[in-house]
Amino acid sequence: MALVPLSYNARSLFVRRSATLLTVFGIGATVAVLAGVLALQQGFERLFTSSGREHVVIFLRPGATNEGDSLFERERAEILMKSRPEIALDEQGRPLAAAERYLAVRRRKLDGGETNVPIRGIGPRSLAIHGELVEVVAGRPVEFGADEVMVGSALTTRMQNCRVGDVLLLNTTPFRVVGEFRSEGPFNSEIWGDSERIGEALERPLLNRVVAQIAPGTDLEKLADSLEGDKRVPAKVQTEKAFLEGQTQVLSGVLLFLGGFLALVMGSAAVLTGTNTMLAAISARSHEIGILLSMGFRPLPIFLAFLFEALLLGVLGGALGCLMALPLDGVRTGTTNFQTFTEVAFAFRITPDVLTTAVGFAILLGLLGGAWPAWRAARMKPTEALRRS
Amino acid sequence: MPWSLLLRHLLARPVRTALTFLSLVIAFFLVCFLKSVVGALGAGVEAASQSRLIVQSAVSLFVNLPVSYQSKIDGVVGVERTCKLQWFGGYYQDPANFFAQFAVDADRLLGVYPEIVLVEGSEAQFLRQRNACLIGEELADSFGWRVGDTVPIIGGLYTRVDGSPWTFLVAGIYRPSSANVDGRTLWFHYEYLEQSLENGAAEGPDGAGVYVLSLARGADVTRVMGDIDRLFENGPQRVQTTTESEFQRQFVSMLGSVPTLLGSIGGGVLFAILLATLNTMLMAGRERTRSMGILKALGYPSRAVFALLIGESLILCLLGGMGGVGVALATSEGMGSFFGGFGIPGYGIGLGTAAMGMGLALLVGLVAGIAPAIAASRMRVVDALGAEH
């Protein structure tokens, strides 16, 4: 079975370039919107999941889904940290665990608006536990016992009073900003200070979570079971990775839903446009199709040829859409994670996954748009096709 | 003017016209939809009362104000009435059944919120029993609750020590008379919460999240706000008094770039549909070259040819616009309750949105029709008649 040369279709796209361009732009715009929404979701999710660790665990009050909802009395937190052999020890034999306070406080942005910034009151062991994720890039770490804070680098350029050397007012107590740290994860949008000082300034006697490194080989499920039934300190435990993933579910879900909805609706419009273009292309060339048929080409190769033409439209549209979305990569944006009510800063990420999804979607749009016109072309009678001008 | 020719042109290629019409319907539906979502996100701000103030902690959204503040605020000149408002954060059966519950001063609620209009039950019934509650009509509909029912709510922020759910007796069902009051809220007695905390039956934060105040007639808003803020300037907890609209705006500004994002998606949709319609009209224009030549040869002026082509584009786009706006209107109610379920009330296709949709349809019709119309009206009769399809 002889196939129609592919160059025939490629050239015909070139001959009808205005229609081709308009269709390609239409598919491209659809694909770019999809890629943009997906890139937003990827950036957000990656921020939270890239820094989650398996050997660090988070203890929360049973029933709490985020740090803000979880509360521990100091004595209970102490018992939890000291009584669990599963918690790893440092060189001096002290448990690598810290009780942390967490509160989203109002801060003014440099551009004037107000937003909620998480403040983390850290314990003496917090820096050892989080050290691998956090790098002090300016100034120095906070000293315990002093009214000092250090600030994540995502905040220094967005918030008022957040540069090293500034003074930041918490309720009625002034705190000095002594350092700036950088982290790949959500810590990058936080303010850190001594848990005791922060608790006093904000009048928060209770602690919010206990974080600890666990000894290698710990059976986490067993630990969770025994903690759940614990009379003195009931708690739920999960790895930091699982905890952070849990914090992204809602916003990630909303973004994926939005992307899917837009892809479906805009995609349908793009398929209709593609069908229109291919129908016009075929009706203008019925004479040529008649010639192909009389030369002995079977209907199937003709169907395939026009399907290929539609596929080509899809590929071009996909490539254009990716090109249009590409400048978004790395653009920083911020929104509130409504699971924690705090603002997180993150960047759009055009990942390979985003690109393959976008191009795959574009090809699908092209094929769906081209299938029916190509079928019509293949079913033409040579004599009738030749007669039409 | 051969107007019947215009109709015949539209029907000459029924498939193409139908496909273009459909994609226009989709596009204008999407534009109206996105516009309404952005509108719904800011709906509370627009409808907010100017004569109502909110006193909240200046430190954090999550810090409560002492109960002792209420009598001090009551004493400020210009304040008519104050009401505690405390977020309860519970859910019915499953965390996915999200809706707002607030503990309030039961005898003051309807005074500060005249927008809460009871359609069933009465205020007297609400005041009679301490575990009574008022619920919004939408909420009552979605769970099938009626006056006299006892509803179990699982506490998220406030847990009962014995692990049982809280129970509230439905004493009344209200319909909000304005968009700034949510139709899916449960209001109950602050005293019920307070006493459960005091007698040890429940655990959770004490104090009141915010105080809502109504102003006396003719009170100076700015002065009242300043007076209240100054009362607590030196602690123990600094406060921030804002108008209700400013209070609502802080939640909208938390969305960060989301409204902008939705707006640019709408722009992308419009761009894609413009290209698609332009494509259709260019194809139509090419096919009509010869018949336009005949028209001119018969003595019709150039402007008739121009009007015929642009008229075709306008009719197609206006029909598509009507279809899209129609679909948006038809789905308005369903979408409204869908978003209401996520705590975003106020989705609705207003007159403004519908007018915007039709205006954009007109614009797309003009832009898409003008190029082929100009080309055809300028064409010389000989060239047009000699043209091949």
Six-digit token pair at B28? 């204008």
- Report chain B's mean pLDDT, rounded to a whole number: 85
The rounded distance, in Å, linking the Cα atoms of A82 and A94 is: 9
CA A135-A136-A142 angle, to 5 degrees, is 125
pLDDT at B342: 65
- Report chain A's mean pLDDT, rounded to a whole number: 87
Reported ipTM: the value is 0.73
The rounded distance, in Å, linking the Cα atoms of B128 and B107 is: 10
Does the pLDDT value for residue A11 go beyond 90? no
Q: Concatenated DSSP letters for A5-60?
A: PHHHHHHHHHHTHHHHHHHHHHHHHHHHHHHHHHHHHHHHHHHHHTT--SSEEEEE
What does DSSP assign to residue B64? P
Q: How far is CA A320 from the centre of its chain?
A: 23
Confidence of residue A1 (pLDDT cuts 50, 70, 90): low
pLDDT at B142: 86
Which residues in chain B touch residue A113, judged by CB atoms under 8 angstroms apart? 253
Q: Is B217 on the interface with A (CB under 8 A)?
A: no
Contact between residue A149 and residue A139 where contact means Cβ atoms under 8 Å apart? no
B26 with A265: Cβ contact below 8 A: yes
Six-digit token pair at A2? 């002889």
Six-digit token pair at B71? 């009598």
B63 with A202: Cβ contact below 8 A: yes
**Among all chains, which residue has been given the structure tokens 């549909």?**
B273
Q: Which of A112-121, B133-142, B249-258, B346-355: highest mean pLDDT?
A: B133-142
Which residues in chain B touch residue A265, judged by CB atoms under 8 angstroms apart? 26, 29-30
Contact between residue B28 and residue A69 where contact means Cβ atoms under 8 Å apart? no
What is the chain B residue with the closest CA to A34?
Answer: B265
pLDDT at B169: 93
- The share of chain B scoring above pLDDT 90, in percent, equals 25
- Span B61-75, average pLDDT: 87
Contact between residue A34 and residue A263 where contact means Cβ atoms under 8 Å apart? yes
Given 3-state DSSP classes, what are the helix, strand and coil percentages for chain B, each rounded to the nearest 5?
Answer: 55, 20, 25
- The mean-pLDDT minimum among A46-55, A265-274, B254-263 falls in B254-263
3-state secondary structure of B359: helix
Name the burial class of residue B286, with classes exposed (0-12), middle (13-18) and buried (19+) by CB atoms within 10 angstroms of its CB.
Answer: buried
Among the partner residues A22, A68, A171, nearest to B279 by beta-carbon distance? A22
Q: Is A342 on the interface with B (CB under 8 A)?
A: no
- Span B270-290, average pLDDT: 80
Does the pLDDT value for residue A362 go beyond 90? yes
Among the partner residues A113, A116, A333, nearest to B61 by beta-carbon distance? A116
3-state secondary structure of A276: helix
B279 with A170: Cβ contact below 8 A: no
- Span A208-214, average pLDDT: 91
pLDDT at B348: 80
pLDDT at B219: 81
Does the pLDDT value for residue B33 go beyond 60? yes
- Span A45-71, average pLDDT: 83
DSSP E strands: which ranges in B196-252?
Answer: 202-203, 210-215, 239-243
Does the pLDDT value for residue B358 go beyond 90? yes
B235 with A171: Cβ contact below 8 A: yes
- Span B239-262, average pLDDT: 79
Does the pLDDT value for residue B35 go beyond 70? yes
Contact between residue B54 and residue B120 where contact means Cβ atoms under 8 Å apart? no
Residue A236 CA: distances (Å) to CA of A62, A80, B282: 5, 11, 65
Of the candidates A37, A35, A42, the residue with the CA atom closest to the CA atom of residue A362 = A35
Contact between residue A121 and residue B73 where contact means Cβ atoms under 8 Å apart? no
Contact between residue B105 and residue B112 where contact means Cβ atoms under 8 Å apart? no
Among the partner residues A40, A115, A172, nearest to B238 by beta-carbon distance? A172
What is the chain B residue with the closest CA to A170?
Answer: B59
Does the pLDDT value for residue B104 go beyond 90? yes
Pairing of strands A97-108, A56-60: unpaired
- Please tell me the distance in Å from B118's CA to the nearest CA on chain A: 31
Confidence of residue A345 (pLDDT cuts 50, 70, 90): confident
Half-sphere exposure of A304 (CA within 13 A, CB side): 11
Which residues in chain A touch residue B60, judged by CB atoms under 8 angstroms apart? 103-106, 116, 202
Does the pLDDT value for residue A281 go beyond 60? yes
B268 with A389: Cβ contact below 8 A: no
Which residues in chain B touch residue A275, judged by CB atoms under 8 angstroms apart? 19
- Span B52-66, average pLDDT: 87
Does the pLDDT value for residue B227 go beyond 60? yes
Q: Is A172 on the interface with B (CB under 8 A)?
A: yes
Q: Is B164 on the interface with A (CB under 8 A)?
A: no
Does the pLDDT value for residue B389 go beyond 60? no
Q: Is A340 on the interface with B (CB under 8 A)?
A: no
What is the chain A residue with the closest CA to B254?
Answer: A336
Which residues in chain A touch residue B328, judged by CB atoms under 8 angstroms apart? none
The rounded distance, in Å, linking the Cα atoms of A225 and B259 is: 44
Quick: pLDDT tens for A101-152.
999 888 888 887 788 889 999 998 898 899 888 999 999 999 999 999 999 9
Name the burial class of residue A203, with classes exposed (0-12), middle (13-18) and buried (19+) by CB atoms within 10 angstroms of its CB.
Answer: middle
The rounded distance, in Å, linking the Cα atoms of B332 and B328 is: 6
* Beta carbon pairs, A and B, within 8 Å: 153
Does the pLDDT value for residue B388 go beyond 70? no
- The mean-pLDDT minimum among A49-63, A221-235, B246-260 falls in B246-260
pLDDT at B15: 86
Selected residues 325-344 of chain B with any CB under 8 Å from a CB in chain A: none
Confidence of residue B1 (pLDDT cuts 50, 70, 90): low
pLDDT at B341: 65
